[in-house]
């Protein structure tokens, strides 16, 4: 993609791009609504565009499917609008352009099996190419014929995006008008002679006809110098009963009642209403400009009279009327202004919450640091949710007041092979092996997933996901991580692509949330490219270092081995990274160096020592402990093994997690989980003793490849936060580890919904256990006296309340007597009710018997209906099979044209062993018709011909002769665009200037390069010659020529022709042409070299003349190119891509 912008619009922008050596126009669409429906719709539109083949339609080359679509077409030098704005057009040019556009629209309207309506005919969508000639002719090509139906996916809300100048009445009212002449301003259709000339060509679309007529009127007006008009800034459709909410420097407006031509549908919900409500109007306050943006997710149904309020970057929408009868809602939705995504927080329900209503209002409040939404009043139906106690309801009005507390219980997605690092009161978790992580080295989807950081606030226990800046590491799983100050460092890892490991080092700043690459992945120095190693931070002589040990690496394509280290699939490297200089250091290692090892834990004890435990070695899992002591140039290792006997020692394990706990008796290492070795163990580093801790559930101890973080709630209470892992237990778990004395520990689990409550409780307990100071004692005495005085006051209040209670008790006794009388009356009414109930039971039994009889009859009818349903399903399956077969046939035969649509003339362009080429007319367009001689009619040859035509129909390139279609009845007729001359004719009638030779050479090279790079298999032309290079004069100062290669789609058809034996010209054939096993794109390169020599010498060179003729070429660069193309050994010839690069440099 280049930076040259050809144009911009509501749908996106058009840039100049390079595609296989060819300059093309690349239409880059804006954000679309990613959904299965829209993906299917986009594919359908591109399939239609790929089937359209006409010289007056802009040639479609291809489109991307990843991310926002990019559509490639041929590059045209100018448009009709630009020509009209810079000057007038001669009358003959007006007629030529009118005829070209009419032919293009006629082709679309006669397209089979269904006509295609352009719906956007305008001067901006008519592109022009100078064709040379005496009058400097212009060829017109119609663009934007394949993407009209894609407009709802882009930022423009109106699917008919043309300006009102080109609109016709039925675009708005969707009905036909009586009468033909419609007046637009000062221009009348009756005044345009160009329109009457092409009236016959547009019988199928009154809309397209009127659009084209108004364009022709503008062409005629431009010839007189009257072209004018400027586009206004976008403004939203007018509306009422809506809300506009400010977030930052932007206003967000959604929904509301409208009376524009595209009225809001008076329905509960349908696709059109959903499409209208799936956009958000956004105004940038610094510029005052509005734009319309698409949203994702399902928007609310209450589109009119809703209530709205914002909290942070979220806008909340409550209730509203859905514009259908008496249908009101009490749903609550959130809209994120960063992701433009809708989320339903509370559905419409009659069970609880506010009434279903509209015209209420809502604000956001904050109480004790918590966010709430406050909702008041409203208007809605009376048959609704239960009434709120204390509220009043008058008809449809109410004065309800409700609070809503937005949920903040976000949990990160499950993962394994990750790390969680604590900095201050926050945990930072990144990467890991997650669901749907792309199995690629890198792409936009993977980068998007890895450009977020999961953050847990330890004071609240709540997770949130935050975006990061800069490029994150590629090693997303099995990396090593450690923190120094406010920076977290990430080393190595696996990028989730087969065998792809890294040895890069990145830093992440928790203040700026920015990634920075400190040391890239390289095979020249530093540690091996590896994963499941470990890393810790140390400080020696005031300098910060990172220590990296062990890991699993690939045996090949890696860095040089470290002296004295050992390597198999694992290694026991030890490297230091000095932060101040950015250098990797290989220290001197003494003592008991660990063996090659991975999936262990390396935990810092203090600034200059660490403890290594467990892991996987060549001899299996390990349970050894290593104490490592560091200087800036050396490492000393001390090994502790299981002594056996009655000594407690954990079993071997790997993929476990560890944290260090400091107590008043010294540091301790806590180990949790591991592969096939579960449990919770703690190691007293000072006394070198292990102890197993119990009473911990399996959802904590049975994990492996999980993360572990420590938070000291009080000096004697530690909370261990566990997340993720390879087992089914992957959610967040909090272990409470309490230390009393003499290595006495207790464990428990903190429920997540009691996190803050337990935190406050533990801290109150700690404060209560501390000794009281004298000044605190005086305050306690004062408060005790205050409490005693208050107690006396409460006793007096209790005596007064006792007197009141006695009076009430007397009143109660009187009421009880009244109640007994009422009970007696109730018993009489109950007796009467029992009699009525017995009567009703008798009637119910009678009706139940009748119902059973009806059920029996219904069962018989159900069996009959099931038989009918089964027969209907069988018929439906048969129809579906027929429909799939018909779709397949239609897809494979889109190139088939009827012989009745072809009008042959007597003008013969050429003859050969395969047949002859005549000028013909097809839907009003002059074309070249290749009429083949008698073929061998057989099922095999018919299928082979269809296959070749299918391939020809898929080839789209400006330097390939455009294939239009072919017949299938009788002897085949192949239709292509008509070209005025060929290279052979030009060489026979006179020479070519050097710049013309270069331009033709580049055009032919681009065409052959496109064929050679065609997917899924390359296409060999096998008949490159001057007769098969057709030319079109392009006008300009130098009289340029555009070359197009022909006969590229029928090379494999030669053996079907009775009168021809050898495919291709022998004077152009490569030495390996006789050996099919050596056929390759290099065969066309050889023929191309002969063609270059022919253009210079103006005759077809014989094989024995080539060396002498090449030596006679004066330009050294061109002589070298011809020599390399004609090398006998085909493997040494350049590719067409190399040739294109060389020619571009020469030009």
Residues making up the annotated binding site for ATP are: 27, 930
CB-based contact 196:202 (threshold 8 Å): no
Tell me which H or E stretch contains 317.
strand 314-321
Give the count of beta carbons closer than 10 Å to the beta carbon of residue 624: 20
Residue 92 exposed, middle or buried by CB count within 10 Å (0-12, 13-18, 19+) = exposed
Residues 671, 677, 682, CA angle at the centre, nearest 5°? 25
Farthest-apart Cα atoms in the chain, separation: 136
For residue 481, what are the CA distances in angstroms to 372, 421, 606?
Answer: 38, 7, 17
CB-based contact 359:378 (threshold 8 Å): yes
State the SS3 of 92-138: HHHHHHHHHHHHHHHHHHCCCCCCCCCCCCCHHHEEEEEEECCCCEE
The set of residues, in sequence order, having a beta carbon less than 8 Å from that of 337 and lying 6+ positions away, is 247, 248, 250, 252, 313, 314, 315
The set of residues, in sequence order, having a beta carbon less than 8 Å from that of 158 and lying 6+ positions away, is 151, 262
Distance, in Å, from the CA atom of 116 to the CA atom of 882, rounded to the nearest integer, reads 25
Q: End-to-end distance of the chain based on CA atoms, in angstroms?
A: 21
The b-or-e profile of 996-1024 (16+ CB within 10 A means b, else e) is bbbbbbbbbbbbbbbbbbeeeeebbbbbb
Distance, in Å, from the CA atom of 918 to the CA atom of 920, rounded to the nearest integer, reads 6
**Which residue is listed with tokens 């208050």?**
790
The set of residues, in sequence order, having a beta carbon less than 8 Å from that of 87 and lying 6+ positions away, is none
Give the count of beta carbons closer than 10 Å to the beta carbon of residue 1053: 22
CB-based contact 320:328 (threshold 8 Å): yes
Give the count of beta carbons closer than 10 Å to the beta carbon of residue 891: 11
CB-based contact 1095:1000 (threshold 8 Å): yes
CB-based contact 584:575 (threshold 8 Å): yes
CB-based contact 832:838 (threshold 8 Å): no
Distance, in Å, from the CA atom of 362 to the CA atom of 44, rounded to the nearest integer, reads 44
For residue 988, what are the CA distances in angstroms to 138, 938, 960, 981, 1069?
Answer: 27, 41, 23, 12, 21
State the SS3 of 337-356: CCCCEEEEEECCCCCCCCCC
596's tokens: 């090659």
Residue 841: CA count within 13 A, CB half-sphere:
6
| CA-closest candidate to residue 219, choices 93, 339, 308 | 93
Distance, in Å, from the CA atom of 6 to the CA atom of 75, rounded to the nearest integer, reads 10
Angle between helices 1136-1146 and 994-1012 (to 10 degrees): 150
Residues annotated as binding site?
27, 930
Tell me which H or E stretch contains 774.
helix 774-892
The b-or-e profile of 2-11 (16+ CB within 10 A means b, else e) is eeeeeeebeb
| CA-closest candidate to residue 471, choices 449, 443, 447 | 447
Phi, psi dihedral angles at 156 (to 5 degrees): -95, 130
């Amino acid at each position: 993609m280049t930076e040259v912008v050809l144009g911009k619009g509501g749908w996106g922008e058009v840039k100049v791009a390079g595609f296989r050596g060819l300059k093309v126009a690349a239409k880059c669409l804006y954000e679309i609504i990613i959904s299965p429906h829209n993906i299917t719709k986009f594919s359908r539109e591109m399939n239609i565009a790929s089937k359209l083949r006409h010289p007056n339609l802009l040639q479609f080359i291809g489109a991307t499917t990843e991310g926002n679509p990019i559509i490639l077409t041929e590059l045209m030098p100018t448009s009709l609008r630009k020509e009209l704005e810079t000057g007038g057009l001669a009358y003959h040019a007006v007629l030529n352009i009118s005829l070209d556009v009419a032919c293009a629209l006629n082709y679309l309207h006669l397209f089979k099996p269904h006509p295609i309506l352009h719906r956007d005919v305008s001067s901006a969508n008519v592109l022009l190419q100078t064709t040379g000639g005496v009058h400097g002719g212009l060829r017109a090509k119609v663009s934007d014929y394949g993407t009209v139906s894609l407009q709802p996916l882009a930022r423009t809300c109106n699917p008919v995006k043309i300006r009102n100048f080109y609109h016709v009445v039925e675009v708005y009212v969707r009905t036909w008008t009586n009468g033909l002449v419609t007046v637009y301003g000062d221009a009348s259709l009756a005044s345009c002679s160009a329109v009457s000339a092409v009236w016959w060509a547009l019988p199928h679309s009154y809309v397209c006809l009127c659009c084209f007529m108004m364009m022709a009127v503008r062409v005629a007006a431009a010839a007189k110098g009257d072209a004018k008009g400027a586009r206004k800034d976008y403004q939203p459709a007018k509306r009422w009963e809506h809300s506009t909410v400010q977030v930052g420097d932007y206003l967000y407006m959604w929904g509301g009642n409208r009376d524009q031509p595209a009225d809001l549908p008076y329905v509960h919900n349908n696709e059109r209403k959903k499409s209208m409500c799936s956009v958000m109007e956004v105004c940038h306050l610094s510029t005052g400009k509005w734009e319309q943006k698409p949203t994702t997710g399902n928007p609310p149904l209450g589109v009119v009279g809703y209530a709205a309020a914002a909290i942070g970057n979220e806008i909340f929408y409550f209730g509203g009327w859905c514009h259908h009868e008496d249908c009101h809602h009490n749903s609550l939705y959130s809209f994120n202004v960063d992701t433009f995504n809708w989320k339903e927080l509370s559905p419409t329900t009659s069970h609880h919450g506010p009434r279903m209503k509209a015209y209420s209002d809502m604000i956001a409040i904050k109480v004790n640091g918590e966010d709430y939404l406050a909702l008041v009043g409203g208007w809605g139906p009376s048959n609704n949710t239960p009434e709120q106690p204390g509220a009043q309801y008058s008809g449809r009005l109410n004065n309800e007041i409700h609070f809503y507390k937005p949920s903040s219980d976000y949990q990160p997605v499950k993962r394994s092979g990750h790390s969680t690092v604590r900095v201050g009161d926050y945990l930072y978790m990144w990467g890991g092996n997650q669901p749907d992580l792309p199995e690629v080295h890198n792409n936009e989807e993977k980068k998007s997933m890895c450009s977020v950081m999961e953050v847990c606030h330890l004071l609240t226990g709540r997770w949130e996901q935050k975006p990061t800046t800069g490029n994150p590491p590629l090693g997303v799983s099995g990396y090593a991580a450690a923190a120094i100050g406010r920076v977290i460092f990430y080393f190595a890892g696996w990028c989730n692509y087969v065998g792809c490991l890294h040895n890069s080092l990145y830093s992440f700043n928790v203040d700026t949330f920015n990634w920075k690459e400190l040391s890239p992945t390289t095979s020249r120095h530093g540690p091996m490219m590896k994963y499941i190693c470990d890393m810790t931070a140390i400080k020696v002589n005031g300098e910060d270092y990172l220590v990296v040990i062990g890991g699993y690496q690939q045996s090949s394509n890696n860095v040089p081995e470290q002296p004295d280290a050992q390597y198999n699939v694992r290694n026991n490297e030890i490297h230091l990274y000095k932060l101040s200089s950015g250098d990797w250091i290989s220290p001197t290692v003494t003592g008991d160096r660990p063996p090659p090892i991975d999936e262990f834990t390396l935990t810092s004890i203090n600034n200059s020592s660490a403890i290594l435990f467990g892991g996987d070695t060549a001899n299996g899992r390990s349970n050894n402990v290593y104490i490592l002591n560091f200087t800036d140039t050396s490492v000393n290792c001390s090994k502790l093994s299981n002594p056996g006997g009655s000594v407690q020692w954990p079993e071997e394990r790997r993929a476990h997690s560890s944290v260090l706990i400091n107590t008043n008796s010294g540091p301790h290492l806590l180990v949790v989980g591991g592969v096939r070795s579960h449990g919770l163990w703690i190691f007293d580093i000072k006394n070198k003793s292990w102890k197993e801790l119990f009473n911990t559930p399996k959802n904590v101890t049975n994990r492996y490849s999980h993360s572990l973080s420590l938070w000291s709630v009080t000096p004697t209470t530690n909370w261990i936060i566990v997340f993720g892992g390879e087992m089914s237990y992957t959610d967040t778990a909090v272990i409470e580890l309490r230390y009393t004395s003499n290595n006495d520990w207790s464990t428990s689990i903190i429920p997540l919904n009691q996190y803050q409550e337990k935190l406050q409780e533990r801290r109150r307990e700690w404060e209560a256990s501390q000794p009281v100071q004298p000044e605190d004692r005086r305050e306690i005495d004062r408060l005790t006296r205050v409490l005693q005085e208050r107690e006396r006051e409460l006793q007096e209040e209790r005596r007064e309340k006792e007197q009141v209670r006695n009076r009430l008790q007397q009143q109660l006794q009187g009421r009880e007597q009244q109640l007994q009388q009422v009970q007696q009356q109730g018993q009489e009414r109950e007796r009467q009710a029992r009699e009525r109930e017995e009567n009703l039971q008798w009637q119910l039994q009678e009706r139940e018997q009748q119902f059973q009889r009806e059920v029996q009859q219904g069962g018989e009818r159900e069996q009959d209906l099931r038989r009918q349903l089964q027969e209907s399903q069988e018929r439906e399956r048969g129809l579906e099979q027929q429909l799939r077969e018909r779709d397949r046939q239609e897809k494979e035969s889109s190139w088939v044209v009827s012989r009745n649509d072809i009008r042959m003339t007597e003008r013969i362009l050429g003859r050969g062993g395969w047949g002859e080429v005549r000028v013909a007319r097809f839907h009003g367009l002059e074309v070249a018709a290749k009429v083949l001689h008698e073929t061998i009619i057989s099922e095999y040859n018919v299928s082979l011909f269809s296959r070749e035509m299918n391939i020809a129909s898929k080839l789209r390139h400006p330097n390939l002769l455009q294939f239009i279609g072919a017949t299938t009845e009788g002897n085949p007729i192949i239709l292509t665009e008509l070209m005025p001359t060929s290279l052979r004719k030009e060489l026979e009638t006179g020479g070519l200037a050097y710049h013309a030779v270069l331009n033709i050479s580049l055009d032919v090279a681009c065409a052959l390069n496109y064929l050679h790079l065609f997917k899924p298999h390359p296409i060999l032309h096998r008949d490159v010659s001057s007769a098969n290079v057709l030319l079109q004069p392009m006008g300009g100062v130098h009289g340029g020529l555009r070359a197009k290669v022909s006969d590229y789609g029928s090379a494999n058809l030669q053996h079907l022709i009775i009168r021809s034996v050898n495919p291709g010209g022998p004077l152009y054939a490569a030495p390996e042409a006789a050996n099919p096993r050596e056929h390759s794109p290099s065969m066309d390169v050889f023929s191309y070299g002969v063609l270059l020599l022919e253009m210079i010498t103006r005759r077809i060179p014989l094989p024995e003349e080539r060396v002498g003729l090449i030596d006679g070429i004066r330009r050294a660069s061109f002589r070298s190119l011809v020599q390399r193309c004609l090398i006998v050994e085909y493997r040494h010839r350049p590719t067409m891509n190399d040739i294109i690069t060389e020619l571009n440099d020469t030009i």
